[in-house]
Structures are given as structure tokens and as C-alpha cells.
């Protein structure tokens, strides 16, 4: 269990030191994820040290019970990855059936004897070694995760940074021309008239719920191009379907030369290529909201 948690902590730490995060809530904020990663690393060192084995077993059993519930929720909601191993994407069903449930079962069957570990007395040398290893890794890794600067897109559409992972922050685009316009294959259409643009991933569960709603709106407004039109822009990796087949909306893709990091679905209201409003999945607009912008 210690080795498994150690691998997970290292992969999460590497992701935070090299990749931007969404920062949409406290649960996805960089500081919370750094704290979670370091706690997982400390947990792994504790298990590998063998100190206080009975208490360690209890905490680990509860921890993996929580992991099992969270992974099951991710699996039934269609999440593309369990998020357990940083940038290494593993289907939640695989994690649930191959790791979480088997580990939980093994923990329930193989328990340390009462008095074992703690009953042999406190091992000060082992404790000091565990603390030294934790601090030796924790301090530089925390610094690397905290000081990471994301690659972004400037207001004039230039990539700022060296990473292939580009963080998109639509809320900062309001009142300015759409900075990612030149990376979209249907940019000539979006540069004129009024558009409701949906940025989506094909395997995003919330996108799969939302897209049919806006496809239906697109059908209702078919032929009213002077009011506003709908466009669906897919972010890589691409799926194997064209959402415009089921609607009168435009379908496009953003360049796959970069990995674009943004909460999906994200909606943009464009007027002559300028961003008037943005919405994220927790505040998706209604038809009345769009009409208010037209007025």
C-alpha cells in the first residue's frame, strides 16, 4: 500500500509541477491539490516505515473505502480518468476493479495483530528517518509545484510559455477579441455576426448532457442567422462524431498542436469576434440569457 501511494503521490506531484490546473473550486485549486499530494506522500512514508501499524491499517482501510466510493462515482458518471495518477489517465472502472476494491478486500482480511508494531515500542531512529525523507522531498517538490507558471494565450492570440499544455481562462477574455480564434478551423465564420460557442471534449460527461440541449436550440433558431448562431468547437483529443449532424449548428475543431486545458463545457457569446460573456458548466445559460445579450 505504501508503494502504491508513493507512486500516486509522485505522479500527482509531477503533474502539478509541469501542468496547470483548473482552479474552478477549492477542490481543484493548486494549493488544495499540493496539500493532498504531500499528505499522500507522508501517508506512503508512514506505511513503508512500519510505525504504529494498527493505526496505519485503520487509516488506510478508511482511506481506500473513500477512494472506492469516489472512483465508483467517477466511473458511473463517465469520467475519462480516475485522476489518481496525475497525467497517467486510467479509466475509473479499471482503477475500481483492479486496485481499489482488491486493496480494500485485502486490508479487511489481513489485519495487524493488536499490539503489533505499537506494542514493540516506539522506534525513534525509524521515525527520524521517515521525517527526514519526507522533508527532503516535500520542501523542493512543494517549491516546484508552487512556482510553476502555466503557458497561456495572450489577448492577441500568441502562446506565452514553452509548454505544450496551454491554460485557457475564458473569464479573462470578456470585452476582447477571442484570442484562440486563429487556432479554430472555422474562424472565418466566428469572426462575424453573433455566436454562441461551446468548447467541449467528446468524453466530458457534462458536455454529453449539455450538447443536446444547445443542439436543440440551434435547430429552433435555424435560419435566424441575423440573431445568433450556434457553434460547437471540439478540443483534442477528438472523438469520432460531428455534433452538427444532429443540428443546424456549425462544428469546428481547435488545433491539436497543443493540449488546451479548460473546464468543459465552456460557453462564449461572441459579437463580431469579440467575447461578450462566458459561462462554465456550473452556470450554463438559458435561451433568455442569450436573448438578453442581443437586446
- In what helix (H) or strand (E) does residue 129 lie, and over which residues does it extend? helix 124-146
Is residue 27 over pLDDT 90?
A: no
pLDDT in tens, 220-229: 777 666 678 8
> The pTM is what?
0.70
pLDDT in tens, 161-175: 888 889 898 989 999
pLDDT in tens, 134-150: 999 999 999 999 888 88
Is residue 215 over pLDDT 90?
A: no
Is residue 188 over pLDDT 90?
A: yes
Is residue 50 over pLDDT 60?
A: yes
pLDDT band at 69 (very low <50, low <70, confident <90, very high): very high
Listed residue (278, 222, 229, 228) closest to 251, CA to CA: 229
The domain segmentation of the chain, as residue ranges, is 2-146, 151-294
Tell me what the pLDDT averaged over the chain comes to. Answer: 86
Place of cell 512556482: 147
180 exposure class (CB count in 10 Å sphere: 0-12, 13-18, 19+):
buried
How many Cα atoms are found within 13 Å in the side-chain-facing hemisphere of 257?
A: 8
CATH 3.90.79.10 fits 151-294, yes or no: no
Listed residue (97, 56, 54) closest to 75, CA to CA: 97
Question: What number is the average pLDDT over the span 201-212?
Answer: 84
Is residue 4 over pLDDT 80?
A: yes
pLDDT band at 119 (very low <50, low <70, confident <90, very high): very low
Tell me phi and psi for residue 136, to 5 degrees: -65, -30
Whether the CB-CB separation of 163 and 245 falls below 8 Å is answered with no
Whether the CB-CB separation of 237 and 257 falls below 8 Å is answered with no
Tell me phi and psi for residue 191, to 5 degrees: -75, -10
* CB burial string 79-100: b at 16+ within 10 A, e below: bbbbbbbbeeebebeebbeebb
What is the SS3 assignment for 209? helix
Is residue 189 over pLDDT 50?
A: yes
The CA distances from residue 1 to 47, 72, 76, 103, in Å, are 7, 20, 25, 8
* pLDDT confidence of residue 234: 93
Amino acid at each position: 500500500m505504501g508503494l502504491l501511494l508513493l507512486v500516486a503521490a509522485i505522479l500527482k506531484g509531477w503533474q502539478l509541477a509541469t501542468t496547470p490546473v483548473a482552479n474552478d473550486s477549492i477542490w481543484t485549486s493548486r494549493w488544495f491539490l499540493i496539500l493532498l499530494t504531500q499528505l499522500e506522500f507522508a501517508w506512503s512514508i508512514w506505511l513503508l516505515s512500519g510505525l504504529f501499524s494498527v493505526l496505519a491499517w485503520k487509516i488506510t482501510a478508511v482511506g481506500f473505502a473513500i477512494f472506492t466510493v469516489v472512483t465508483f462515482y467517477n466511473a458511473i458518471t463517465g469520467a475519462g480518468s480516475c485522476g489518481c495518477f496525475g497525467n497517467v489517465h486510467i479509466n475509473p472502472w479499471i482503477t475500481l476493479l483492479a486496485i481499489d476494491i482488491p486493496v480494500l478486500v485485502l486490508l479487511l482480511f489481513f489485519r495487524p495483530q493488536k499490539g503489533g508494531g505499537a506494542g514493540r515500542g516506539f522506534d525513534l531512529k525509524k521515525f527520524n528517518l521517515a521525517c527526514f525523507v519526507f522533508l527532503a522531498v516535500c520542501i523542493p517538490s512543494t517549491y516546484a509545484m508552487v512556482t510553476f507558471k502555466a503557458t497561456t494565450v495572450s489577448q492577441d492570440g500568441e502562446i506565452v510559455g514553452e509548454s505544450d499544455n496551454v491554460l485557457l481562462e475564458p473569464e479573462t477574455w470578456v470585452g476582447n477579441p477571442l484570442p484562440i480564434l486563429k487556432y479554430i478551423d472555422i474562424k472565418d465564420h466566428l469572426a462575424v455576426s453573433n455566436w454562441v460557442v461551446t468548447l467541449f471534449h467528446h468524453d466530458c460527461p457534462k458536455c454529453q448532457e449539455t450538447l443536446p440541449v444547445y443542439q436543440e436550440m440551434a435547430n429552433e433558431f435555424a435560419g435566424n442567422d441575423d440573431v445568433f448562431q450556434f457553434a460547437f468547437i471540439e478540443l483534442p483529443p477528438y472523438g469520432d462524431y460531428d455534433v452538427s449532424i444532429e443540428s443546424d449548428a456549425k462544428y469546428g475543431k481547435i488545433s491539436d498542436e497543443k493540449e488546451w486545458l479548460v473546464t468543459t463545457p465552456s460557453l462564449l457569446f461572441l459579437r463580431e469576434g469579440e467575447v461578450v460573456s462566458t459561462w462554465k458548466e456550473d452556470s450554463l445559460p438559458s435561451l433568455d440569457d442569450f436573448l438578453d445579450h442581443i437586446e
